[in-house]
Amino acid sequence: MKLANLLKGIRLPRPPAAAPPVDLPAPEKVYLPLRQHRGAVAEAKVEPGEQVALGQVVGASEEFESATVQATVSGVVEAIVDTVDPAGQKVPAVVIKNDGADAWAEDSAMGESLTDPAGVKGTRPSHLLRRLREAGLVRAQVEGRPLHVDLSPPMAPQSYLYMTGIPVVRPVDTLIVSAVDADPPVCPNRSCLGQSIQELSVGVAALARISGAKRVILALPSGSDTAAIAAMAGPYEWEIASVSQTSYPFATDNFLVQSLTGREVPTPYGEPKDVGVVLQPMISAMDVGKVLMSGRPVIDRIFSVAGEVKNPQTFRVRLGTPISEVLAAAGGGPSRPGKIIVGGPMMGLAIFDPATPVTRETEGVFVQSAANVVAYADHPCIHCGRCVAACPVNLIPSELGKLCEFRMYEEAAYMDLMNCIECGCCAYVCPAKRPMVHFLRHGKTEVLAGRME
Ligand code: SF4
Ligand code: SF4
């Protein structure tokens, strides 16, 4: 498939090849936050001192935008403590001391095993969606949505339909499964390329069945062995597209949808579903396949460690493992640590506590030494225009930065501040080292909160 090229944005160095994930032994203790996504906090279903088995439900909520939390080790519930999630929000977490038995709970099975795409195609979409909800799957991105919410049809504003007769919800006809990591060098999706075609085929079949998509596109990073993967994907009639890894932010959702289907996602609040497309990263598709094949919840996460660590590597980690333990397994960080960024160097969020656990919304960390952390300053803009040339959504970041800096949020909103995708290209190219993303992110928060006076 030939792709349209991204004219703006920036060019990043080609990321190194991704090795398959290495299994990390289960930790002595896991910290399971009762919210690992955007939405409602689950209610704890266990008490301190209680013995729990693998896969046992430890937190659940009746709210639609919530995900069930299961034990990822067997052992004793030590406490329920407050922890901070990668987005910086305080959230209660169940702490379980691992007894090493790894015994599954008797009631952890979630229906019959579906081991081939034909079986999935013969199963009702509502049944598949219910199983994903029971498994508590979440799209792997900070403040990602539970997968059952991501895959449910958008709420149609019925009154609008009644008044205008215009069907505002376009039926989904295309599913994109992307193995291209949006923020390289954090690379969980590339690492699991070619890992288990059976899990992937069952996962993709389920995603297509639930969404109603007839067309399936597998987006692969350029340079991968597309011929081998095309041969592998042949029986399932997936289209294969090769996507650049150096052209940033080409692999983020809206650009990928536009280049692969020619459909423009409406901004600022639109999503691919609005133009009939469902897009999921490859690790989500593999998680779906795993849940349906095993009939059990997923207890681990493919987690990538990149940047200044001794051995950058991707691991298969039990959910709830402190990030500091994963960093130690990667050989440890620099002697003078600077930042640990969850997500990736361009769009990720820095965490202040390395004991923050690996959760369903995390896909990896990027580590920087103190020497390499960019020192932003409140230097004035020198009007070089580099940020304007780089902004992939055609904003004027220099003006928006100044308006947000001086709290002129209404004027910034008028200049399409809310269209900013927080890609970081403007900060990356700015010679004055202005903290552009901080200004813009803060401005967007103020606009959303209605504080525009
Ligand atoms: S203004 Fe927003 S979208 Fe444009 S380059 Fe900066 S961060 Fe990216
Ligand atoms: S890149 Fe920096 S200095 Fe140049 S115009 Fe943009 S904000 Fe101003």
Q: What secondary structure letter does DSSP report for 155?
A: P
The stretches of 214-295 forming alpha helices (DSSP H) are 226-233, 253-261, 282-294
pLDDT at 426: 96
Ligand that comes closest to the CA of residue 424 = 1
Report all structural domains of the chain as residue ranges with CATH numbers, in order of start. Answer: 10-15+111-155+170-294 (3.40.50.11540), 386-448 (no CATH)
Q: Which helix (H) or strand (E) holds 129?
A: helix 125-135
Alpha carbon distance 292, 294 (integer Å): 6
pLDDT higher for 231 or 362?
A: 362
Alpha carbon distance 37, 140 (integer Å): 9
Atom of ligand 2 nearest to the CA of 398: 7
The DSSP secondary structure of 290-323, one letter per residue, reads: HHHHHSS---EEEEEEEESSSS-EEEEEETT-BH
Q: Which helix (H) or strand (E) holds 410?
A: helix 409-414
Alpha carbon distance 400, 413 (integer Å): 9
pTM of this prediction? 0.90
Q: What secondary structure letter does DSSP report for 335?
A: S
Alpha carbon distance 320, 359 (integer Å): 6
pLDDT at 231 over 60: yes
Check if 437 has its Cβ closer than 6 Å to any atom of ligand 1: yes
Residue nearest ligand 2's atom 7 by CA: 398
Q: How many residues does the chain have?
A: 453
Which residue from 396, 398, 404, 438 has its CB within 8 A of the most atoms of ligand 2, so it is best to mutate?
Answer: 398
Q: How confident is the model at residue 451 (pLDDT cuts 50, 70, 90)?
A: low
User: 383: CA distance to ligand 2 center in Å?
Assistant: 5
pLDDT at 150 over 60: yes
pLDDT at 143 over 70: yes
Among 76-90, 214-228, 357-371, which stretch is predicted with the lowest mean pLDDT?
214-228
Atom of ligand 1 nearest to the CA of 249: 8
pLDDT higher for 237 or 357?
A: 357
Atom of ligand 2 nearest to the CA of 388: 6
pLDDT, tens digit, for every residue of 171-199? 889 999 999 998 888 999 988 887 788 89
User: Which tokens hold the place of 380?
Assistant: 């004035």
Check if 424 has its Cβ closer than 6 Å to any atom of ligand 1: yes
How many CB atoms sit inside 10 A of residue 433's CB?
A: 13
Which residue from 381, 406, 433, 438 has its CB within 8 A of the most atoms of ligand 2, so it is best to mutate?
Answer: 381
Residue nearest ligand 1's atom 7 by CA: 422
pLDDT at 2 over 60: no
Q: Which helix (H) or strand (E) holds 242?
A: strand 239-243
pLDDT at 154 over 70: no
Atom of ligand 2 nearest to the CA of 382: 3
Q: Hey, CA dihedral for 422, 424, 426, 427, is it positive or negative?
A: positive
Residue nearest ligand 1's atom 2 by CA: 420
Mean pLDDT of the chain: 88
